[in-house]
Every structure is written in C-alpha cells, then in structure tokens.
Amino acid sequence: MSKLIVLEGLDGAGTTTQARRLADALAARGRTAHVTREPSDGPVGRLIREMLTGGHAIPGASISQATFGLLFAADRLDHVQREVEPALAAGHVVISDRWYHSSLAYQGTGAERDWIRVLNGRARKPDLTVFLRVRAAVAAERRVAAGRAQELFEDLPMQEQVAAGYEAVLAELAAAGEAITILDGEQPLDAVTEAIVAAVLPRL
C-alpha cells in the first residue's frame, strides 16, 4: 500500500539529505519511493522559492507572513494534484521534504495558527511525519558549512522562534491523533538514517 511519509525540521536539520537516504534504504528493500519537496517544483512553488531568495521584493517593506501562508497552502494543494497523488496511485511510497507542519511552524505563530490550519484543511494528512529535532544554532552552523546563501526566515532569532513553533504544533497534532515521531537530528548521519528507517518500516 502506498504511503505519504513526511520529514520535517528546521532549515539545516538534514531533511533533504535524509529524504534521499530513506528512499535508498527503501529501494534496497524492494520498495519504490518518490522523493519530493515543498515548496514544490510546480509553478506556485517556483514563485515561493524566488521570493524566499529575495525575488519580487517590496521596496521598503517585507512580504507578509499572511502572503506566504496563502502561497504555501496553494502550492500544497497543487503539489498534491500534480505530483503526490499520481505517485501514490502508481504504488510508490512518497517521501516529502516538508509539509503543512512547516507552514504552521513558520507562518502560524500565535493566533494565526488557526487560520493557517484552515488554509491547509484539504491537504492530505501524512501516514507518518518524522521530525528531526536540531537546535537552531546547530542548524545555522550546518547551513554555513554547506555554503548556503541565507534565505528569508533563516536568521537565528527567527529560527529559534520557529523551533518553538514546531514543538507546539507537533504536540497539538499528535494529541489530535496524527502519527508523529520525533528524532534527535544531531546524531551522526548514519544513526539518524537508521532511526528514520526504523520508524518508517512498520508503517509500510
């Protein structure tokens, strides 16, 4: 049976690397995996990526979190229709690097969280979400080591706020019955992969 597995974490937590490694581990066990990401590679996702790197800036002002919340929700529904549902229908395990948990943690601070939740009400619920818990300072060091240009929302105070947002959001979703596993993303690379595989296999 096809499943949607989501990897979540701060920028620099290792979700992109671990998504690929999980797909390789499943392939070694005879399971075909389709790896994808959010923002997606669709038209709305490409626009979001441009905006995150400074494109389409508003002179003298920053683009509002509400705007990003709407765009991410639109991209998610488009992503599901264009890529996720066809892959699931073909029998693949879909591994997504981020899902609506990111929107709730990044754009859904405080009272805005309920609004973000409504926007994403039609998004498919993952069969399992794996959150890689990494301290904001450690994630920042990793981004610098990888030579990544800083995007919006990646300064340390913002990332510390997002980390707190993730903890609150994941607790709420888990209490509502969503399948969520939290792992120590600061472990060595192979150890993190092994822990993810151990969490995912029983769900397949």
Domains of the chain by start residue, with CATH? 4-203 (3.40.50.300)
pLDDT score, position 26: 98
Alpha-carbon radius of gyration of the chain: 16
How far apart, in Å, do the first and last CA atoms of the chain sit?
Answer: 7
- Whole-angstrom distance, CA of residue 7 vs CA of residue 128: 9
**Which positions of the chain have pLDDT values less than 50?**
none
Half-sphere exposure of 5 (CA within 13 A, CB side): 30
| Residues 6 or more apart in contact with residue 9 via CB below 8 angstroms | 15, 131, 132, 133, 134, 139, 166, 185
- Given this model, what pLDDT does residue 156 score? 81
pLDDT at 140: 84
Q: How far apart are CA 10 and CA 25, in angstroms?
A: 23
What pLDDT, on the 0 to 100 scale, is given for residue 39?
Answer: 97
Helix (H, G, I), strand (E, B) or coil at 23: helix
Report how far residue 107's alpha carbon sits from residue 36's, in angstroms, rounded to the nearest whole number.
21
pLDDT in tens, 105-145: 988 766 688 899 999 999 999 999 999 999 999 988 888 88
pTM of the model: 0.93
Cα angle value 14/22/203 (rounded, 5°)? 115
| Length in residues, the chain | 204
Identify the pLDDT of residue 154. 59
- DSSP one-letter code for 153: T
Using omega within 30 degrees of 0 as the cis cutoff, is the peptide bond preceding 188 cis?
Answer: no
